[in-house]
Amino acid sequence: MDIALPVLGGLGLFLYGMSLMGMGLQKAAGEKLKKLIEILTNNRIMGVIVGALVTMVIQSSSATTVMVIGFVNAGLMTLSQAAGVIMGANIGTTITAQLIAFNLTDFAPLAVAIGVGAWLVSSKKRAKNLAEILIGFGILFIGMDMMSGGLKPLAGNPVFENIIISLRDPFLGILVGLGLTTIVQSSSASIGLLQALASQKLIGLDIAFPILFGDNIGTTTTALISSVGANKTAKRAAVIHFLFNLIGTIIFMTILRKPVEAIVLKISPDDIQRQIANAHTLFNLVNVAIQLPFAELLVKAAKKLVPGDEEEEMGGVKYLDPRIIETPSIALGQVKKEVIRMGKIVEDNLVTSSKAFKNKNEKMTSEVFSQEKVVNRLEREIVEYLVELSNAPLTDEQHTHVNVLMNVVNDIERVGDHADNIGELAQSVIDERLSFSDEAIEEFDNIFGKSLEVFQKAIESFSDIDFDKAREVLKLEEEVDVLEREYRTNHIDRLNKLLCQPSSGVVFLDLLSNLERISDHSSNISLYVLDQLKEQ
C-alpha cells in the first residue's frame, strides 16, 4: 500500500493536471481549434501540422483523433484529410513527455498557488482560462513527484527486479505498454509513469523503448471505442489511426530500433527522462515521415477492413451529380427533390424530438443529434451545388429558382436546428429529472401539433407550388403565435402559483420559443412560394 497509494494518487493528479491544462488551453484558443482543422486540412502536409498543433494545445492525441472522427462522421472531412491530421496528432502528443523531462517539480507548488490566486481574484474569462493552464501545469508535476516518490521503495526489490528482467522481452514490453495505455486512456500518462520509473533508476532505455511502442498502439483504443456508434467512414478513420501506429511499431521493432536508440543516447547520454521523451518524439516523427507518402494506401486498407457504401452511411445527398449541371433544368429538378427529402428528414426529427421530450427517452435524443448532423451535411452540399449551378448559363426564371432553393434550404436547416434544440431540452429534462404538469403537457401537444402542421404544409406548398396551401400556412402561423403568447402567460401564472418547478418552467418556455420559431421559418418558405414563384 505504501507504493500503490502514492503511485495511484500521483497518476490521478497527473491525469487531472494534464486534463485541466488542456481544457485551459482549449478555452483560451476557443473555437479556432475546430475551425483550424476544418479549413487547413485540404493539403495533407498542412493536415499533419494542424494535427500536431491542435494536439499540443489539447494535450491528447486521442482527443484530437476523436474530434477528427466527429468531423468525418458529420461529413466535414474526408478520410484522406483525416489521415494527415491523425498522423500529426501523434507528433503533438510527444510535447507532454518533453515537458516532463524538464523536471520542473520544484516550481509546481508556486504555479498552483499563482494559478489559484489568479483564478479567485480575476473576473475575466480569459484570465481564468490562463489560470487553469497554470494550475493544471503545477498539478501535473506534483503528480509526477508523487509517482516518483511512491516508486522509490521498489529499488532493490527482488520481485520488481524479476518483473523488469522479464520486460527485456520486447514483445512483452509492447503488451505492457498497450495494456497500460488502454487502461488509463492516455499515452502521455503511461509515458509519464515510465519517466517516473526512470527517474528512480528503476528502468533503462532498453526496457522503456518497447513499452513506448505499446503505448502508441494503446492510444488508438480511445478512437476505436469512440467510433463504435459512428458511420462507416468514421470507423475507417479510427482504423487508420490503429494501422498507422501498428505499422510504425513493426517497422521500428524490426529495422529502426537500434539506429534510433543510438541517436537518442548520443543526444542525451546522461538524462534517462529526456531519453524517453526524445525516443517518443523521434518514433513519431520518423513514423510520419515514412508513412505520409503512403497515406492513400492506409485509406484503402481501412476501406477493405470496414467495407460498405460510404455515401449512404454518411447521409449525403442522394439526387445531385455535378455532371447534370450542364443541363440546368434537370439539375434544378434534382435539387428540388433533394430539398424536399431534407425537409422530410427534418420533419421526422421534429417528431422524434417531441417523443424524446414526452417519453424522457435518451435513445431518442441521441437519434435527434445524429440526424441533425445529416441535415447539416445536406444543407452544406446542396448550397455548394447551387453555387456551382448559379455559375452555369441560366435564364432569369432559373436564377429565381436557384435563389428560392437557397432560401428554402436555409429555413429548413433552421427548423432542423430547433428540432435539435428540443432534443437538447429533452436531454436536460432527463438529466435533471424534471417533471411537468398535465396542463403543460397538454399545451405542449397542442402547440407542437400546430407547429408541425405548419411545417408540413409549407413543404407541401413548396413541393407542389400550391398557393392555397401557402396562404393556409400564413394563417396557421398566426395561430401558433397566439398559442405561444397564451401558453407563455399560462405557464408564468403556474410558476407564480408554485404549481411548477422553476427549472421545469425555464425548459417549457424554451420549448414554446423553439416551436414558435419553427412556424416562423415555415411561414418564410410559403412566402417564397407566393412572392417569387407566383408567376412561374
Amino acid at 510: D
- Do 83 and 295 touch, CB atoms closer than 8 A? yes
Q: Give residue-wise pLDDT tens across range 107-125.
A: 888 889 999 999 888 888 7
| pLDDT beneath 70: ranges in the chain | 1-3, 22, 25-42, 58-60, 67, 70-77, 151-157, 159-162, 164-167, 185, 226, 229-231, 309-315, 321, 323-324, 326-327, 498-499, 532-536
- Do 238 and 221 touch, CB atoms closer than 8 A? no
119 φ, ψ (degrees, to nearest 5): -65, -40
- Do 325 and 388 touch, CB atoms closer than 8 A? yes
CA torsion, points 477, 482, 488, 490, in degrees to nearest 10?
Answer: -140
- For 76-101, the DSSP string reads SS-HHHHHHHHHHHHHHTHHHHHHHT
Q: How far is CA 491 from CA 65, 98, 451, 506, in A?
A: 45, 58, 19, 10
Q: Long-range contacts for 438-446 (Cβ within 8 Å, ≥24 apart)?
A: 439/490, 439/494, 440/491, 440/494, 440/500, 440/504, 440/508, 441/358, 443/483, 443/487, 443/490, 443/491, 444/357, 444/358, 444/508, 444/511, 445/358, 446/483
Angle between helices 272-291 and 79-92 (to 10 degrees): 160
- Do 445 and 515 touch, CB atoms closer than 8 A? no
pLDDT of amino acid 313: 45
Going by C-alpha positions, the residue among 517, 493, 515 that lies closest to residue 437 is 493
The rounded distance, in Å, linking the Cα atoms of 67 and 439 is: 42
Going by C-alpha positions, the residue among 467, 477, 469 that lies closest to residue 519 is 477
- Taking residue 76's Cβ as centre, other Cβ atoms within 10 Å add up to 18
- Do 204 and 240 touch, CB atoms closer than 8 A? no
The rounded distance, in Å, linking the Cα atoms of 19 and 25 is: 10
Going by C-alpha positions, the residue among 314, 326, 411, 352 that lies closest to residue 74 is 314
Please enumerate in sequence order all residues whose Cβ is within 8 A of that of 389, keeping only pairs 6 or more positions apart, or say none. 325, 328, 331, 332, 335, 402
Please enumerate in sequence order all residues whose Cβ is within 8 A of that of 200, keeping only pairs 6 or more positions apart, or say none. 148, 151, 152, 154, 155
pLDDT of amino acid 351: 95
The rounded distance, in Å, linking the Cα atoms of 260 and 156 is: 30
pLDDT of amino acid 387: 93
pTM metric for this prediction: 0.56
- Do 54 and 93 touch, CB atoms closer than 8 A? no
Question: Count H helices, E strands: the chain?
Answer: 24, 0
Please enumerate in sequence order all residues whose Cβ is within 8 A of that of 54, keeping only pairs 6 or more positions apart, or say none. 33, 36, 37, 64, 67, 85, 88, 89, 92
Provide the 8-state DSSP code for 255.
I
- Cell readout for 144 is 509526477
- Do 142 and 17 touch, CB atoms closer than 8 A? yes
pLDDT of amino acid 536: 47
